[in-house]
Structure 1
Amino acid sequence: MSTDHEASTPARLTHSALSDRHAFDDVETFLRRMAQAREHTYTNTAHVPLGDLAQWHTDAEAGVIRHASGKFFTVQGLDVHIPTGAVPRWDQPIINQPEIGILGILMKEFDGVLHCLMQLKSEPGNCNGIQVSPTVQATRSNYTRVHGGNPTPYLDYFRDRSQHRVILDARQSEQGAWFLRKLNRNMIIEVTGPVEAREGFHWLTIAQLHELLALDDVVNMDARSVLSCMPFEEWADRSGDAQDSRHSTAELLSWITERRSLTSVDLRQVRLGDLGEWRADGARISHVPERFFDVIGVRVEACGREVGRWDQPMFAARGEGVVAFLMTRFDGVPHVLANARVEAGYADRVELAPTVQCIPDSYRDLPRSKWPPFLDDVLRADPAAIRYDVLQSEEGGRFYHTRSRHLVIETGDELVHPEFRWMTPRQLAGLLWHSNYVNVQARSLLACLRAVERLAPVERAL
């Protein structure tokens, strides 16, 4: 499709984020419909021992858990060696899912305002059943129907884009602590022809989505990831450069490149039964000091999904996570403190992460000198300095009842650490047009930044 209007796309996205106009339900009505939908769209999840999963088995020779089809994903053991890391060596289970999935939002203009087609999707790991999801949220195994179920609705808009306008198409990473080099295509496609909203799908403006981001566990992780990449007018410069930033974008890119060049990450696959710090008893795989996470088995009965019944392994965090940006102002311009974070599962060793990203319960018995940098600043923050504080769920297809407290905390301190840099939200957003620079937790929090004060550009909102 012609891109004659491409230059106006950031302005149109911003208009959708600022406008009080909407062509369909208001937010209150939508939330009532969401509650009603739980009566006929749900996943009932029961814990079962890993050894009792019908569709999955432990490959005795390879020491991995795999699906009978050989598709979807495997759970394998990983030995990690990062000589310069705070913990130079450890081992762990990790999800190996080499397929590149699609996270896609379909957009269409109604009454002069862009609307997003969002799905009310129930995932087995969601703590509250249904959450607001992208139009398409599917692994390659799912959308090629390895499961033998129904086709993925609206998939063709994202696979054949010749008649539509591509607003976004970028590969982005998943959780590097739990996925091995996992990527998804984050996509936004605008259509001009008629599109029927099927049962379970709803048209919402970006302003309405920002309102929903102010509520606990409503907008799912995949939707937050795609929303973070939207090129709004105030962040439309894809270079992300700004004269009023603490560091130029060229300086930040050089810093990231240096961190990647100087960081060695050596990975070796090991059998799950040979993991030194983990116990596999046939029911679950758990860390011996009972920290971090467990690998559990679940059996699922679903209504409103492509498949009505299945079982699978899932990761379940031990404790509630914290995902936080510390924020300050330089010459009146808001900056967030980003961490050049190393995780075993990143495709390129280092990605930009929030200031703090951890499960605090994993560190409470350790001296503060062993805590992640700035965790104490976040946990002891003055309530008056907290600009955003909402519980958000992790991806419910692989992670069971796993949530993180998302925080934006304003500080007057100019904090300095070699693994951290102050950068503007504009610079962070500019890197989202490229793969493997901004991790999923930082993308999730960046989407939430736009909801801090409904809809003013972030430079004014903060």
Structure 2
Amino acid sequence: MSREHPAEPPDNTGGPDLERIAASAAAVDGGLLSMTDFRHWFDERRKAIRMDVRRIPFAELQRWSFQPVTGNLVHDSGRFFAVEGLRARYDGPNPASWSQPIMNQPEVGFLGILVKEFDGVLHCLMQAKAEPGNAEGLQLSPTVQATRSNYTGVHEGSAVRYLEYFTDPGKGRALTDVLLSEHGDWFYRKRNRNMVVEAVGDVPEHEDYCWLTLGQVRRLLGIPDLVNMDTRTVLACLPVGPAGGPSDGAATALTASLSAQAPAAHTLPELLRWFNAIRARSEVTVEPVPLAALDDWVRDADEIRHTSGRHFAIVAVSVEAGNREVTGWTQPLLSPRGTGVVAFLAKRINGVLHVLAHAHPEPGYVDIVELGPTVQCVPDNHAHLPPERQPRFLDEVLAARPEQILYDAVQSEEGGRFYRALSRYMVVETDEDRAVPEDYRWMTVAQLVTLLQHSNYCNIQARSLIACLQSVW
């Protein structure tokens, strides 16, 4: 730690230091590790961190069982999460009603990245971590990624490393700390504290962790399925400000979009009035029901699935992992049917890049509606529908020419609860002058990040795309 400077974080009483964040975002070739050093370290961790995952029938689950009356799938501790049933009804322009399984995990967990200055540049302490649902095994994860059941020892495993920096105010100063939702289609009112904390004093080293600049982590977002979902959502919460960057048109427009002073199509008060009006007239009714009472869902020895074969299934896995707090366990996972598409349409308005946000209802949100991407769907789930009922803007996104695509990479969703859940994340630039539907609005990146300092505004897919879009800069 000889290169550490300063010993104590500076006092930024006026709020997070945007210049330090911008300097770290611009530092890609410098830092404690070069990108080549990182690749060597990550390859070594990939060889050392082994996780063996296999599908099993429900009968082989240990400490998990279906309740005799409700049919809900629960852990015998009463903690972690449960798989329950939900009925939802939408009474808007295209009325719909449906029932589905949903994961109920009322605990609030921690998703946290610890930062510290080395040679005057903020670095992020990143973890090489495998999750049972990951498609490719090891990913770059936050410093801390833990549910309450994990960090209170319900799993009967070892302690969560570095957790004290996020629970003890004397160990670090929060740059951002906000309670945010997870997938509203798959979780019932699930939220986590998304935190970035600057450490006070020395930070012990561990071989599964490394220090990277913010610019290096963002560079790695261009690699498919390397940076995990929890890292993306935490990074999206960091305040942004104007910074120097490349001078080509798209990059200049994106740099302007990161500034709260840049001219925007709508002011933030106008956007809040629009969004609150959408919420106020939302016509979505949600009712928790027993899992056994669901229509059109069946359970056999290996999975709970929809009779159409679409949507998702609930499956069971057995896990062996040598470097986790617990080295072996079994658990249910949600397994989507098909690869999703998560995309922002982007447009330059007065020289500033705007993205088209959608006021998107999902049954598991606390407030039913949150801001999501322009497109958020699994195309296979809609292939049987007529053209007029296909997800809006999906065809335009998928038909984009190479020169329109600012970002395009397949990334995974959270591997601790979802089994090989992959989505194609895209940002597609358009110059088409169009009237957008009432539940869509053009917004700058800075406006979205401002709303991200508060709960229940931006969904997790939008947050992932915000992080990915900043990697383009």
TM range (shorter): over 0.9
- The offset of 1:32, in angstroms, is 2.3
Aligned mates of 2:308, 2:441 — CA distance in 1: 33
**Structure 2 residue aligned with 1:27:** 35
- The offset of 1:387, in angstroms, is 1.0
**Alignment of 1:385 onto 2:393:** no
- The offset of 1:376, in angstroms, is 1.1
Query: In structure 2, the residue corresponding to 1:125 is in which secondary structure?
Result: coil
Q: Aligned AA for 1:155?
A: L
Aligned mates of 2:283, 2:384 — CA distance in 1: 29
**Structure 2 residue aligned with 1:448:** 468
**Structure 2 residue aligned with 1:309:** 328
**Structure 1 residue aligned with 2:99:** 91
Aligned mates of 1:147, 1:7 — CA distance in 2: 37
- What is the aligned counterpart of 1:249 among 268, 284, 292? 268
Query: In structure 2, the residue corresponding to 1:399 is in which secondary structure?
Result: coil
Matches within 5 A, 1:112-131: 112-131=120-139
- The offset of 1:240, in angstroms, is 8.1
Kindly report the root-mean-square deviation, in angstroms, between the aligned alpha carbons of the 2 structures. Answer: 1.9
**Structure 2 residue aligned with 1:347:** 366
**Structure 2 residue aligned with 1:419:** 439
| Structure 2 spans left out of the alignment, 5+ residues | 1-8, 244-254
Residues 28 and 243 (structure 1), Cα distance of their counterparts in 2 relative to 1, 3 Å cut: closer
- What is the aligned counterpart of 1:181 among 178, 181, 189? 189
**Structure 1 residue aligned with 2:230:** 222
Query: In structure 2, the residue corresponding to 1:257 is in which secondary structure?
Result: helix
Query: In structure 1, the residue corresponding to 2:170 is in which secondary structure?
Result: coil
- The offset of 1:242, in angstroms, is 4.5
**Alignment of 1:154 onto 2:174:** no
Q: Aligned AA for 1:451?
A: S
Aligned mates of 1:216, 1:348 — CA distance in 2: 32
Contact 2:262 2:352 in 1 (8 A): no
Residues 147 and 7 (structure 1), Cα distance of their counterparts in 2 relative to 1, 3 Å cut: closer
Aligned mates of 1:438, 1:206 — CA distance in 2: 22
**Structure 2 residue aligned with 1:276:** 295
Query: In structure 1, the residue corresponding to 2:273 is in which secondary structure?
Result: helix
**Structure 1 residue aligned with 2:203:** 195
**Structure 2 residue aligned with 1:458:** none
- What is the aligned counterpart of 2:46 among 38, 46, 57? 38
- The offset of 1:249, in angstroms, is 0.6
Aligned mates of 1:109, 1:310 — CA distance in 2: 38
Matches within 5 A, 1:73-88: 73-84=81-92, 86-88=94-96
Normalising by structure 1, report the TM-score. Answer: 0.94
- What is the aligned counterpart of 2:151 among 125, 143, 156? 143
- The offset of 1:151, in angstroms, is 0.1
Residues 264 and 26 (structure 1), Cα distance of their counterparts in 2 relative to 1, 3 Å cut: same
Query: In structure 1, the residue corresponding to 2:195 is in which secondary structure?
Result: strand
Aligned mates of 1:421, 1:115 — CA distance in 2: 35
User: For residues 408-449 of structure 1, what are the alpha-carbon distances to aligned partners after superposition, in whole Å with 9 as ceiling and x for unaligned?
Assistant: 100011331111001111111110100010000000000011
Residues 26 and 87 (structure 1), Cα distance of their counterparts in 2 relative to 1, 3 Å cut: farther
**How many residues are matched?**
452
- The offset of 1:233, in angstroms, is 2.5
- The offset of 1:248, in angstroms, is 0.8
Query: In structure 2, the residue corresponding to 1:232 is in which secondary structure?
Result: coil
Q: Aligned AA for 1:344?
A: P
Q: Aligned AA for 2:125?
A: L
- What is the aligned counterpart of 2:308 among 262, 285, 289? 289
Residues 180 and 339 (structure 1), Cα distance of their counterparts in 2 relative to 1, 3 Å cut: same
Contact 2:72 2:85 in 1 (8 A): yes
- What is the aligned counterpart of 1:327 among 346, 352, 356? 346
Contact 2:298 2:305 in 1 (8 A): yes
| Structure 1 spans left out of the alignment, 5+ residues | 454-462
Contact 1:22 1:204 in 2 (8 A): no
**Structure 1 residue aligned with 2:25:** 17
Q: Aligned AA for 1:289?
A: S
Q: Aligned AA for 1:220?
A: N
Aligned mates of 1:371, 1:94 — CA distance in 2: 24
User: For residues 174-217 of structure 1, what are the alpha-carbon distances to aligned partners after superposition, in whole Å with 9 as ceiling and x for unaligned?
Assistant: 00000000000000110141112212000000011011001001
**Structure 2 residue aligned with 1:434:** 454
Contact 2:24 2:123 in 1 (8 A): yes
Contact 2:141 2:231 in 1 (8 A): yes
Contact 2:229 2:464 in 1 (8 A): yes
Q: Aligned AA for 1:410?
A: E
Q: Aligned AA for 2:426?
A: L
Query: In structure 2, the residue corresponding to 1:172 is in which secondary structure?
Result: strand
User: For residues 285-314 of structure 1, what are the alpha-carbon distances to aligned partners after superposition, in whole Å with 9 as ceiling and x for unaligned?
Assistant: 111111111110001011111000000100
Q: Aligned AA for 1:209?
A: V
Contact 2:242 2:259 in 1 (8 A): no
Contact 1:22 1:113 in 2 (8 A): no
Contact 1:168 1:187 in 2 (8 A): yes
- What is the aligned counterpart of 1:101 among 92, 109, 112? 109
- The offset of 1:63, in angstroms, is 2.1
- The offset of 1:20, in angstroms, is 4.0
Aligned mates of 2:10, 2:347 — CA distance in 1: 42
Q: Aligned AA for 1:168?
A: T
- What is the aligned counterpart of 1:373 among 383, 392, 410? 392
Contact 1:272 1:280 in 2 (8 A): no
Contact 1:40 1:303 in 2 (8 A): no
Aligned mates of 1:449, 1:369 — CA distance in 2: 30
Residues 6 and 51 (structure 1), Cα distance of their counterparts in 2 relative to 1, 3 Å cut: farther
Once structures 1 and 2 are overlaid, which stretch shifts more, 156-165 or 10-19?
156-165
